[in-house]
Structure 1
Amino acid sequence: MPMPRPIVPTPPGPRPSRGARRLAVAAALLMAGVPAVSTAPAHPAHAQPPAAQPGAGVATLYLPRADKQWIAETVSLGDPYAPGRGNPGYDVIAYDLTFDVVVETPESGTPRARYLAVALIDAEVTAERLDRVSFDFGVPDVRGASINEAEVPWYSGAGNKLWLVPPKPLQRGDPLLVAVSYDGATGAGGGFNIQRTSSQTAQVWTPLRNPGAWFPANDHPSDRARVKLRVTLVDSPGYVAVSSGTSDPGRPGGTRFDFHGHMAPGDLMLNIAPYTVVEDRAPGGAKFQYYTLRPAEQSAVLRGALARQLDFFQSRLHAPHGHEGPIKVVESGMNGTASLPELLAIGRNQLTQRRVTYERQFASLMAAQWLGPFIGFAGRRDDLLGSGLTTYLGILYQARDQGPEPVQARMAALESSFAFTVPRDLPLDGLPADGSGTAVAANKAPWAFHRLRLALGDDAFWAKLQHFVEMSEVTSPQSGSDVLDFLEAVVTNNLREDDPVAVAFDAAFRAADTPRVNLAWRQAPDGNLVEVRVCQLTPTPQVFRLPLALHGADRRMDFGIDVAQPDQAFEASFPARLRAITPDPAQVLLADVVVHPMGGDALPPCAALPAPALARDDGAAPPHGVPPDAGPADAATTTDAAAA
């Protein structure tokens, strides 16, 4: 582990805009039947995307030519977790997106949404030489494009890529100001989804985690940028647009959304519907806005749960990361739920759940409002670290003011899931990028934060986490090992390497030493002596302390045993009839412990114990002669059952 060092907030400073500006949608780009709100250019004509030229990119775009074989090549950042996503050679500083949208709901037939759009992308070249630029973009109707205010040709490429060719090759550090004008519609590859909400109205939403479906993007979560989104709803009275960022009404029917932090382009979402906006408030005073298509009283139970969750996390972590306004909660047309920067999107299939579901499922989503904007899935590990932390914070919320038992019960469930689904343990700081470590992290990551909280104590845990949030607003760790290293620096700041907290951090996040054991016990029929045998099942024996609780009819005794060998025997005195042994009753140790009560019989050798509930790779040699087809059904008692 690197030596701890004091954390000094060193803001990187504002990234230069280099002429980022709003581009008006010119009359030549208008779709038939969609009136322009303003056809006058807001800036000189040379700063606009060029108007469509005959055969130059309308509908079919340019076709690949023999001298441009690179159009057919697959280009990406090479991340197996985001295959085909991302584009090398540049770093995006800001997106400035303008949409003019009309929603059409004929009395019969399918509703439709059409739009005109201009995307201005402010970027910086990072390659030594860049003679062509690609974006993730699948909208077919591009009308014009420019680079650094010069009109350029554009081409459609394999994997929903848009290629632009600058007038001359760009060098490292050069500004890259790209403008693209285009139009689209629902059902025509335009990236908007729509469903009818009544005979007269409809609901529109953009796809989640797929920005290239509706604007040109460098679609990889490691390339985060500032975002401005301007939406004007044309001839759509009563409709409201909702997105991330602070919102300011602009021209009639228009709204501007500014997100002042940095977000991955896949975290941007737009919802349009005839929403009623309910201004709500948590018990502690924090405000949030709820956008609903239903009468307000029908969302009262859900809003009550959200208010309690907002109050719980804000009282411990202060204002959410990057927020300058209230959190917005929107009833979206999608299925499922999503926590996005300054926006909670709740799908239509989630609106009729019971209160207990709202309390369980949405607590982790609310926690992500503090953590999601900067713990992104730049790598598989970051995704699962972030979701592991929000999962654990959701567990703490559910167990608020109830003592440790509910937390212990939920952690026991994760521990049991780990035992049944993980063939081999892996450190959280070294998960494979291809996602093959998903089963490890999904259950182990919440345990890592649980172990860290137990090492720090409750007050220090929340204080460190609050400091992590505050410092992240300055340094904004984005990808790779940065997130975990940054977390470690905050947690172990000014601590010695042998400090218990630093040791616990290493053990939780950087080690792959989860104990897996068979535990057999007996009590001599004519005495108080209890005999325990521990048989380790991992290829390499672990060294750990295993807490145990001995239960009689009217008494309980807690003690721990220090395990270091593959096969160890222990004795304890218990002055009553022993009914059960519970391993790790306080859930301080992630471990797969299978308990075998032997009654009064002698303890068998390790090889004779029944098969454990141990997941393993196909073809791997089972420990202690366990039959290869042995599985969870052959197990004796799992940790969960023993705890119960």
Structure 2
Amino acid sequence: MSSTWVMVSCRLRITGVPRSVTVVAFAVLGVLVLGACEGEVRGGEGASGVGDPYFPKAGNGGYDVTHYGLTLDYDPEVRRLTGEAEIEARAEEELSAFSLDLKGMEVESVEVGGEDARFDRSGGGGGGQELVVRPAGGLGEGDVFTTVVRYSGRPVTVTDPDGSEEGWLRTADGALALGEPVGSMAWFPGNHHPSDKATYDITVSVPEGLKAVSNGELRSSETEGGRATFVWHVGEPMASYVATVAVGEFETRVSKTGDGLPVYVAVDPGEVKASAEVLARIPEVVEWAELNFGPYPFSSTGAIVDREGDAGYALETQNRPVFPGAPGIGLLVHELAHQWYGNSVTPESWRDMWLNEGFATYAEWLWDEDHGGDSAQDVFDALYEGDYFDSEAEEAAVWAFPPAEPSSAAHLSDSPVYERGAMVLHKVRQTVGDEIFYEILRGWAGAHRHGNADTADFTAYVEKKAPGEDFSGIWAEWLYGEGKPAKP
């Protein structure tokens, strides 16, 4: 008969042995066990995943991260990343263990509170998503603690349910890290769910001649021993899915808006000419957005333009969106609008994606309306009547599912989340009129600045701002309703 002896939180557990034998074993070893248990480990294990309806393993329970200090060294020639992540957090319950999201990479050591901590990788062979950390002595509720993880390897590319690629993307001259929805776990360990935002310090070393661009403000850059090191600081809370690192032969330009907001732009040399005109309009777009959405929520803005094909999509990475090739003005407006809606006011879960994309899409409509293009009403009518897209299949897709309840993780970026989400906002505008509607746009961004919110928070906010109006039909038919609503 085989048996296994496992020490778990100072309690001796024996498996594979009849209960009668277990009792005898405890009697014989009682003195030894008692001595080992004098330092009883507190609490249970934090949940591995926050139970997001579309990505249930994303994020982790039991603690809240307040700051990430990431020190990265990347060699594009061999595609090797060496990293040290210093994670400051607060325990929200007693913990004998907690999990960090990390996909791939080899973990060399983990410390909690300056002491070595035991760790293991779930999923087998280090290929799972969870890095389970067992701090010596456990953690008490309310404890503020620092975890240091040292790791290395070739970061992986993550394929989303919709087939798009994120994580650590290899480019012709370096790499591009993109994280929506869960790709950031490919290059640093953390609590990778939008509900846990934190500040960041990101230091990246790359071969001399390359640049490393990230979020926030560039605090320093220096070259020594054939390596160039760039230090970035993000002082406002940021969800990990909008964290980025872009490594390449970028041409960079620093300027300011009329109000003094720093504008940092990094462009692949092959895209400089094609993108110059639209990137020069960043100050204009930000100033227009502030009139409509309220004060800009961050301490800098800008853009990263990599080569066309380096990524399959643009992304609203905080402070400076990423574009694969030169963007048009509509796409620039969309991604900058996300700085208010998505990056500052961040969804509580991925179910609330329309609060990002519906708002950013409607921002495009407003920009066109204010700059001699179609009105938002024109676009709304074209969508409803079937004249907006080039094919019947695209038009039908708008009504495939309700904006507030995407049919699956594979459809989070589909038309109902974008266009029909924007139509919900237009229905609100039709109901309350322009004056109150713009108060809602600005007030919503201000009320949840640097926080999280869900769809119920939004509907409650709208109803509070216009207490004399009945929104039940809009919510039931346009926001949550199946199929195409009755003719408006």
TM-score range, shorter chain: 0.7 to 0.9
**Counterpart residue number, 1:406:** 375
**Counterpart residue number, 2:27:** none
| Cα distance in 1 between the residues matched to 2:351 and 2:380 | 20
SS at 1:449 equivalent: helix
Residue 84 (1) aligns with residue 57 (2): yes
Residue 461 (1) aligns with residue 437 (2): yes
- Residues 171 and 258 of structure 1, relative CA distance in 2, 3 Å threshold: same
| Cα distance in 1 between the residues matched to 2:375 and 2:425 | 16
Correspondence for 1:118 among 80, 84, 88: 84
Residue 338 (1) aligns with residue 315 (2): yes
SS at 2:445 equivalent: helix
Residue 203 (1) aligns with residue 157 (2): no
Residue 478 (1) aligns with residue 452 (2): yes
Describe how 1:454-603 pairs up with structure 2 within 5 A.
454-473=430-449, 476-480=450-454, 483-484=457-458, 487-488=461-462, 492=465, 497=467, 499-500=468-469, 503-504=470-471, 506-508=472-474, 510-512=475-477, 591-593=485-487
SS at 2:52 equivalent: coil
SS at 2:316 equivalent: strand
| Cα distance in 2 between the residues matched to 1:361 and 1:444 | 18
What letter corresponds to residue 75 of structure 2 in structure 1?
A: V
**How large is the RMSD of aligned CA atoms in angstroms?**
3.7
Correspondence for 1:365 among 335, 339, 342: 335
Provide, for residues 418-460 of structure 1, a one-character-per-residue CA deviation record: whole Å limited to 9, x for no partner: 98447798694xx378568977554432122112223443344
| Cα distance in 1 between the residues matched to 2:198 and 2:407 | 23
- Residues 286 and 262 of structure 1, relative CA distance in 2, 3 Å threshold: closer
TM-score, normalised relative to structure 2: 0.74
**Counterpart residue number, 1:294:** 269
Alignment check: 8 A CA contact 2:88 2:147 kept: yes
Q: Tell me, which stretches of 5 or more residues in structure 2 are unaligned?
A: 1-13, 16-45, 159-166, 387-393
Residue 276 (1) aligns with residue 251 (2): yes
| Cα distance in 1 between the residues matched to 2:399 and 2:303 | 41
Alignment check: 8 A CA contact 2:119 2:131 kept: yes
SS at 2:244 equivalent: coil
How far the C-alpha of 1:212 sits from its partner, in A, is 1.1
| Cα distance in 1 between the residues matched to 2:341 and 2:478 | 28
TM-score, normalised relative to structure 1: 0.57
| Cα distance in 1 between the residues matched to 2:317 and 2:456 | 21
Alignment check: 8 A CA contact 1:74 1:84 kept: no
| Cα distance in 2 between the residues matched to 1:100 and 1:85 | 26
Provide, for residues 123-152 of structure 1, a one-character-per-residue CA deviation record: whole Å limited to 9, x for no partner: 12223x321221111233222111111101
SS at 1:394 equivalent: helix
| Cα distance in 2 between the residues matched to 1:248 and 1:284 | 21
- Residues 80 and 591 of structure 1, relative CA distance in 2, 3 Å threshold: closer
Q: Tell me, which stretches of 5 or more residues in structure 1 are unaligned?
A: 1-65, 68-72, 105-111, 197-201, 517-537, 540-589, 594-638, 640-644
Residue 385 (1) aligns with residue 378 (2): no
| Cα distance in 2 between the residues matched to 1:337 and 1:427 | 21
**Counterpart residue number, 1:193:** 169
| Cα distance in 1 between the residues matched to 2:444 and 2:453 | 16
Correspondence for 1:160 among 129, 136, 145: 129
How far the C-alpha of 1:114 sits from its partner, in A, is 2.9
Alignment check: 8 A CA contact 2:64 2:91 kept: yes
How far the C-alpha of 1:511 sits from its partner, in A, is 2.7
| Cα distance in 2 between the residues matched to 1:144 and 1:230 | 20
**Counterpart residue number, 2:190:** 217
- Residues 187 and 313 of structure 1, relative CA distance in 2, 3 Å threshold: closer
Alignment check: 8 A CA contact 2:261 2:299 kept: no
Residue 450 (1) aligns with residue 420 (2): no
Alignment check: 8 A CA contact 1:241 1:271 kept: yes
How far the C-alpha of 1:399 sits from its partner, in A, is 2.1
Provide, for residues 264-293 of structure 1, a one-character-per-residue CA deviation record: whole Å limited to 9, x for no partner: 112111001121113456688865332112
What letter corresponds to residue 228 of structure 1 in structure 2?
A: D
SS at 1:227 equivalent: strand
| Cα distance in 2 between the residues matched to 1:145 and 1:284 | 44
SS at 2:345 equivalent: coil
Larger Rg: 1
**Counterpart residue number, 1:602:** none
What letter corresponds to residue 355 of structure 2 in structure 1?
A: L
SS at 1:98 equivalent: strand
Alignment check: 8 A CA contact 1:338 1:365 kept: yes
Alignment check: 8 A CA contact 2:69 2:200 kept: yes
Alignment check: 8 A CA contact 1:380 1:434 kept: no
Shifted more, 257-266 versus 461-470: the winner is 461-470
- Residues 513 and 461 of structure 1, relative CA distance in 2, 3 Å threshold: closer
SS at 2:329 equivalent: helix
What letter corresponds to residue 90 of structure 2 in structure 1?
A: E
| Cα distance in 1 between the residues matched to 2:355 and 2:191 | 23
What letter corresponds to residue 179 of structure 2 in structure 1?
A: L
How far the C-alpha of 1:320 sits from its partner, in A, is 1.9
| Cα distance in 1 between the residues matched to 2:137 and 2:262 | 51
- Residues 226 and 327 of structure 1, relative CA distance in 2, 3 Å threshold: same
Correspondence for 1:239 among 189, 201, 210: 210
**What percentage of aligned pairs have identical amino acids?**
20
Alignment check: 8 A CA contact 2:66 2:198 kept: yes
How far the C-alpha of 1:346 sits from its partner, in A, is 0.4
How far the C-alpha of 1:188 sits from its partner, in A, is 10
Shifted more, 373-382 versus 147-156: the winner is 373-382
SS at 2:322 equivalent: strand
How many residue pairs were aligned? 416
SS at 1:301 equivalent: helix
